[in-house]
Structure 1
Amino acid sequence: MKTLVSLVSLLAILLVALPGPLYKFGILELGPAFTALRFGVYAGIAALALILIQLIFLRKNISWAAVGVSAILAIVAVGLPMSMMGKAKSVPPIHDISTDLVNPPKFVAIVALRADAPNPVEYAGEETAKQQREAYPELITQKYPQDTEQLFDAAEASINDLGWELVNADKSLGLIEATDTTGWFGFKDDVVVRIRTTGEESYLDIRSKSRVGMSDLGKNAERIHALIDAINSKF
């Protein structure tokens, strides 16, 4: 039983931990990767059930260190995907977030990079805008007393500070484009920053859009918040 518990818990953590890197490096497609995650949860639950059987019926022969390690692996294997599912239920199933929902900033240089992306470069539309207004009402156009050049420099520096890949920085157009790659699965999400002025104030809009997936688990909104906070810290 001890060996079986160890093997099942090890299988569970591998099924959860490996799909991300395997997808990231092009070894596994996204569908099979998510299937592996699901089976990792099943294996983790099975390992926890076997541990419970050990604790009830085979207590005298238990190796507490081995049981502890197996339990940790199984809990992580179950907990990580379940936390992702919980996050998915708490945010709208959208992947295109913008501070301007009437006239979202448009990608320019990034268009070519998204040529093969499942999610098209065009804005997702009014249904997405409606869900965003309900979920993220605070994400609106940002206003600054600084001139556009100062704001542009702060935005570009903030993107570099955040470690995103700078794709395009056109000060004459007030346009900055960048790509952020997530750590575990290596998902690429694209960001465009638009800076304009009325002569008295400078206006900053940010749009963040995932290349794949229906729901972004709130990542694009978090990314916009992070960039706004980084910019604000420079003034």
Structure 2
Amino acid sequence: MQVAAMFVRPTNPLSHRLARLAFVMACAGALVVGLAGPLHRFAGLDVDIAIGVMRYGFYVAVAGVALAVATIVPTRPGDRRRGFVAAVLAIMIGVAAAYTPLSWFQRAQHMPELNDISTDINDPPPLVVTLQLRRGAANPPAWPGKSAGVLQRSAYPDIVPVVLPVPPAEAFKRVDEAAMAMGWDVVARAPADGRLEAVATSDWFGFRDDIVVRIRADGAGSRVDMRSKSRFGDSDLGVNAQRIREFTAKLKAMP
């Protein structure tokens, strides 16, 4: 009996408990991170507080991952398989929960501090209808000025006007079609003024960005300029520039 006992791997209840604790922490962190957006979007929680909630959820998720990594080394399959599985799941869930907050932070470190992007930095399309919708917005509605235009040109040199080989009336129809394809909430159509305005809402936090598209005659064709402006945040993390790129691609792809 004593000889046989020498070949039985002792269990480690402490590792089991720590692995389960890591799993619970990772799940709790993921839940808090996931709820941050809906709390702002649907419950009206102040955006700064909601981001703070997300930050603390990130910390809890990372702590769960760290604890799981610490327990997974001494944990082995077989008679300790439950602890091993809990630790692995904690790592997977915690990493998934931490990914978005971490990616936001990394982008904020590398992206320029811009929240208003226009294809025409000298004469950006003005907000008209969307101006009335920005009441209470943290960012003022005015174009931030020449320095912002210089910074934009350096960071996003590809953000330029689109010239279409069709008259303004046809160009407006294409702009409208492209805007609908983008899933924006079109709030104003003024073909006589060559202007379309819309609002884009993010899926998670419900952040709203205001959009103005301007169509002007350009010889036998039309010039299309677009402006996309965030209502919140010193930096848009590149979202407005990416939106203009996607809209431009759709517009150019139309027959």
- Sort the TM-score into its range (normalised by shorter chain): over 0.9
Q: How much does 1:146 deviate?
A: 0.8
1:7 is matched with 24
Q: Partners of 1:25 and 1:41 in 2: how far apart? A: 21
Does residue 157 of structure 1 match 2:203? Answer: no
Given the alignment, which residue of 51, 72, 75 partners 1:55? 72
2:214 counterpart SS class: strand
1:158 counterpart SS class: helix
Q: Partners of 1:160 and 1:78 in 2: how far apart? A: 33
Task: Please tell me whether the aligned partners of residues 174 and 196 of structure 1 are also in contact (alpha carbons under 8 angstroms).
Answer: yes
Q: How much does 1:211 deviate?
A: 0.7
1:18 counterpart SS class: helix
1:156-235 equivalences in 2 (<5 Å): 156-235=176-255
Does residue 26 of structure 1 match 2:43? Answer: yes
Q: How much does 1:68 deviate?
A: 2.4
Give the residue type in structure 2 aligned to 1:191: I
Alignment RMSD, CA only? 1.5
Segments of 5+ residues of structure 2 without an aligned counterpart are 1-17
1:40-189 equivalences in 2 (<5 Å): 40-59=57-76, 61-63=80-82, 64-189=84-209
- What TM-score do the two structures reach when normalised by structure 2? 0.87
Q: How much does 1:62 deviate?
A: 4.5
* TM-superposition CA deviations, 1:17-46 (whole Å, max 9, x none): 110111111342111111122212221221
Task: Please tell me whether the aligned partners of residues 196 and 204 of structure 1 are also in contact (alpha carbons under 8 angstroms).
Answer: yes
Task: Please tell me whether the aligned partners of residues 55 and 62 of structure 1 are also in contact (alpha carbons under 8 angstroms).
Answer: no
Segments of 5+ residues of structure 1 without an aligned counterpart are none
Q: Partners of 2:57 and 2:147 in 1: how far apart? A: 34
Identity %: 34
Deviates more, 1:69-78 or 1:93-102: 69-78
Q: Partners of 1:152 and 1:7 in 2: how far apart? A: 54
Off by >4 Å, runs of 4+ in structure 1: none
Q: How many residues are paired up?
A: 235
Task: Please tell me whether the aligned partners of residues 37 and 206 of structure 2 are also in contact (alpha carbons under 8 angstroms).
Answer: yes
2:166 counterpart SS class: coil
1:107 counterpart SS class: coil
> Rg: which structure is higher?
2
Q: Partners of 1:26 and 1:99 in 2: how far apart? A: 35
* TM-superposition CA deviations, 1:177-216 (whole Å, max 9, x none): 0001011110010100000014323111000000111111
Give the residue type in structure 2 aligned to 1:80: T
Give the residue type in structure 1 aligned to 2:138: P
Residue 27 to residue 173, structure 1, CA distance change in 2 (3 Å): closer
Q: How much does 1:58 deviate?
A: 4.3
- What TM-score do the two structures reach when normalised by structure 1? 0.95
Q: Partners of 1:78 and 1:163 in 2: how far apart? A: 28
Task: Please tell me whether the aligned partners of residues 210 and 220 of structure 1 are also in contact (alpha carbons under 8 angstroms).
Answer: yes
Give the residue type in structure 1 aligned to 2:65: L
